[in-house]
Each structure stands twice: as structure tokens, then as C-alpha cells.
């Protein structure tokens, strides 16, 4: 039986721009663009299905043209999409250049997800993966807590990706510790910013690979096109097949433009 993965967080519209040269203020710059469904929770779910798992994303998506577009795309990829409708779908613009990326994020209605909008059956799974962005705002932070409670009722592992060191303030730390995840994905800087969680850590070290349980796993050598979504692909692969598959999946992601398979 395939592993069942549920993700909780954002389902957004991703607009990715790969720059052929640095931006010039007040002038035009040539770029290659890509548009599609995105958001950390959505990315993990899409990669999980690509690897043979069953996946569901729980998110509040706007009842607008963009929301219908991203939900339809994700369902077309085999992901079950659940959650209440919001007012406005968020949009993330990612500028990719020289293998790196800079993002401007508008999360729309995603942070408005309320605990009482969740249905218990959505969280019948083997793994619940929570985006760190869900802990950065209310009321979705409380919805993440409720989702973890429901998933644990089904015997699930609760996983958290810290997402960005810029998110880690006092409220975020308190929420992350209270969540008490079983598994945490984080960069080295994110882990240093959030001590005090007794969990299994997957430390992301970029081109140097990952560290898990004190063992270093080297990254797969690949030509980097766009790093958007690499950590999400890593998480999906890790859930399905452990560190090696996680790194292989991350390599597939960075070798293309866009965050989904």
C-alpha cells in the first residue's frame, strides 16, 4: 500500500522568472517565465504523488480565477485538494538567477484557515507535513495544531519544515515547540534559530547535501537551473524513500524551471 501524505499550508499561484542577466532599474531585462500551482504544501504533495505516494493538501484557496486554476492543476497531478474557499488566492513571484532565487510572497487568504474549518477525515494519513509558513500567522497556526492533533489520532508522524529563518520570532518559536513535531526539515541557520525541539532533524546544506541522524548525505551532482521548491521535493522523496530518494528528487527539481514535477 502506498504511503499516505497530507500537507497543510499554502496552495498559491507561482510566477517564476528566470533572468538571463541582472535586473536594470528603470529598464527592461530579458527573462524566461513559468506560471503554475505552487506553495510549500502543494509542492510537497505534487512530488509525493510523482513518487508513487497518495497525497492530499489542506489549504484555504481563493474563490477566484487563480484559485480555480491552481486547484485544477493540482488535482490534475493526482493530488486531493481539501479546504474552505477564501477571498483571494496568493501569488508568489520568484526571480531565479545563477542557480539562486529571490521571492516576493503574497499569501492571499491562505493564513485565514481556521481550526473549526478542518474535517477529521482529511487527516487520515501516515505523515502530516506542515509548512513553517503556517506557524507564522494566525489563525492558520491554530489550524496546524488542530491538524496535528487529528493526524496523531490516526497514528501519523507529524513533520514540520521551518521554511525560512526570517519567520522565526518569539511567537513562531513558541508555536513550533508546542506543535512538538516528530520530524523537522531545516537549514543550518534555521536549526540554530530554533533550539529546544526534541525531534529527528533533516538539516539541509544546499550543494553539500543533508545531514540526518549525524550522517552526512552528499547532494546529487546536477546542473542547477532553479532552486525554487528544492526543499519541498527533498521532503517528498524523504517520506517515500529516505535520504537517497530525497536528494535524487531535489536534484530533479533544481534541474528544471518550476517547483513541481
Peptide bond into 169 cis (omega under 30): no
**Which pLDDT tens digit goes with each residue over 149-159?**
999 999 999 99
The mean pLDDT value for 243-247 works out to 97
- Which string of DSSP letters, residue by residue, matches 143-174? HHHHHHHHHHHTT-EEEEE---GGG-SHHHHH
Q: Is 52 left (phi over 0), alpha (psi -120 to 50) or beta?
A: left
Map out the domains of the chain with their CATH numbers: 4-10+39-84+109-254 (3.40.1190.20)
Q: What is the pTM of this model?
A: 0.92
Confidence class of residue 65 from pLDDT cuts 50, 70 and 90?
A: very high
Lowest mean pLDDT among 94-98, 166-170, 182-186, 201-205: 94-98
User: Is the model's pLDDT at 99 over the cut of 60?
Assistant: no
Phi-psi region of 59 (alpha: psi -120 to 50; beta: other; left: phi over 0): beta
Q: For residue range 187-219, what is the model confidence (pLDDT) as tens digits?
A: 999 999 988 899 999 999 988 999 999 899 999
Q: Which residues of 149-186 are buried (b: 16+ CB within 10 A; e: fewer)?
A: bbbeeeebbbbbbbbbbebbeeebbebbeebebbbbbb
| 143, three cell numbers | 489550524
Sign of CA pseudo-dihedral 120, 122, 247, 31: negative
Q: Give the whole-number percent of the chain exceeding pLDDT 70.
A: 98
Amino acid at each position: 500500500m502506498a504511503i499516505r501524505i497530507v500537507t497543510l499550508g499554502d496552495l498559491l499561484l507561482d510566477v517564476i522568472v528566470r533572468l538571463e542577466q541582472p535586473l536594470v532599474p528603470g529598464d527592461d531585462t530579458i527573462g524566461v517565465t513559468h506560471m503554475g500551482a505552487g506553495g510549500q504544501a502543494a509542492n510537497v504533495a505534487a512530488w509525493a504523488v510523482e513518487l508513487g505516494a497518495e497525497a492530499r493538501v489542506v489549504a484555504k484557496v481563493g474563490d477566484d480565477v487563480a484559485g480555480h486554476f491552481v486547484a485544477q492543476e493540482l488535482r490534475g497531478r493526482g493530488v486531493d485538494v481539501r479546504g474552505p474557499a477564501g477571498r483571494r488566492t496568493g501569488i508568489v513571484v520568484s526571480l531565479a538567477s545563477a542557480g539562486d532565487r529571490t521571492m516576493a510572497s503574497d499569501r492571499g487568504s491562505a493564513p485565514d484557515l481556521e481550526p473549526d474549518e478542518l474535517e477529521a477525515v482529511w487527516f487520515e494519513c501516515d505523515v502530516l507535513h506542515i509548512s513553517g509558513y503556517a506557524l507564522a500567522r494566525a489563525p492558520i497556526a491554530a489550524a496546524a495544531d488542530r491538524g496535528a492533533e487529528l493526524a496523531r489520532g490516526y497514528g501519523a508522524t507529524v513533520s514540520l519544515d521551518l521554511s525560512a529563518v526570517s519567520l522565526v520570532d518569539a511567537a513562531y518559536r513558541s508555536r513550533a515547540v508546542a506543535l512538538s513535531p516528530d520530524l523537522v526539515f531545516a537549514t543550518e541557520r534555521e536549526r540554530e534559530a530554533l533550539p529546544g525541539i526534541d525531534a529527528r532533524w533533516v538539516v539541509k546544506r544546499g550543494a553539500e547535501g543533508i545531514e540526518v541522524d549525524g550522517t552526512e548525505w552528499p547532494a546529487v551532482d546536477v546542473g542547477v537551473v532553479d532552486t525554487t521548491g528544492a526543499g519541498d521535493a527533498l521532503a517528498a522523496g524523504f517520506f517515500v524513500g529516505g535520504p537517497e530518494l530525497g536528494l535524487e528528487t531535489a536534484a530533479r527539481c533544481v534541474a528544471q524551471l518550476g517547483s513541481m514535477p
